[in-house]
Amino acid sequence: MLHVRNLEVAYGRLQALWDVSFEVPRGKIVALIGANGAGKTTTLKTLAGLLVPKAGIIEFEGRRLDGSSPARIVRAGLVLVPEGRRLFPEMTVEDNLLMGAYATPKAGRPERLERVYTIFPRARERRRQLAGTLSGGEQQMVAIGRGLMADPSVLMLDEPSLGLAPLMVEEMFGVVTEINATGVTVLLVEQNTQHSLRIAHRGYVVEAGRTVLAGTGQELLRNDEVRRAYLGL
């Protein structure tokens, strides 16, 4: 569904990605893991059109998207939920959700909103509440819901468990699995290596801007190098 080959990205003279390649099959959860600064977030920003690659190919549903505008990429069905939630704090929960639907036909928005409220009942309860008054976990749920309002074929999640309490982390990964079960393909970037690989059908390890390991989630969990570097075992 999504093919990334030999991706190179730089911030001015500072090169962040040297050679990143991976594939995302339809209907699966794919995890990108690695240390801080490895290039995972840069990869997602490039896929979303927020950064322009120096080299490499991004192919989505058979179409080249490298160098495309963020608006075209969202309309194609590739949607990013950014690290840090990035909600509009002075707008209500429901207004934040509707902001995610700006590129979709108005006719289908009520159905998508109802689907989001089904996945996140607390968002329904707080739909008239200002987003800035929510807890961290609630804000993350609204951020993911806003991404779903764009009707994505592939939902890219950047550190969805960041800053959450342990019980909320468990709930968040359960939600990711539930979203995937509805037919949405998921590309997940996570510092929580163990949780992400447990739910991932496939995973890739990114180090210093390069893809260095690949396998199923379970294969990477059993890999001695991954266990030493990322699981503390």
Q: What is the pTM of this model?
A: 0.92
For the chain, list the strands marked E by DSSP.
2-11, 14-24, 29-33, 55-60, 63-64, 78-81, 154-158, 185-189, 202-207, 210-215
pLDDT, position 59: 96
Which residues lie across from 210 on neighbouring strands?
19, 207
Q: What's the number of CA atoms in the CB half-sphere (13 Å) around residue 19?
A: 3
Average pLDDT over residues 55-78: 93
Own/partner long-range contacts of 200-203 (Cβ < 8 Å, ≥24 apart): 200/29, 200/30, 200/31, 201/25, 201/28, 201/29, 201/30, 202/25, 202/28, 202/29, 202/30, 202/31, 203/30, 203/31, 203/32, 203/33
pLDDT of residue 107: 84
**Domains of the chain with bracketed CATH:** 1-77+186-233 (3.40.50.300)
Taking the CA of residue 190 as centre, how many other CA atoms within 13 Å lie in the half-sphere pointing to its CB?
Answer: 26
15 Cα distance to chain centroid: 22
**pLDDT tens digit string along 215-224?**
999 999 999 9
Confidence label for 233 from pLDDT (cuts 50, 70 and 90): low
Helix axes 166-181, 136-148, angle to 10 degrees: 10
What's the pLDDT tens digit per position in 124-179? 999 999 998 998 888 999 999 999 999 999 999 998 888 777 888 888 899 999 99
Structure tokens at 11: 């911030």
Distances (CA, A) of 64 to 56, 61, 151: 11, 9, 20
Q: From CA 97, how far away is CA 116, in angstroms rounded?
A: 9
If one compares 26 and 36, the residue with the highest pLDDT of the two is: 26
The span from the CA of 162 to the CA of 153, in Å, is 24
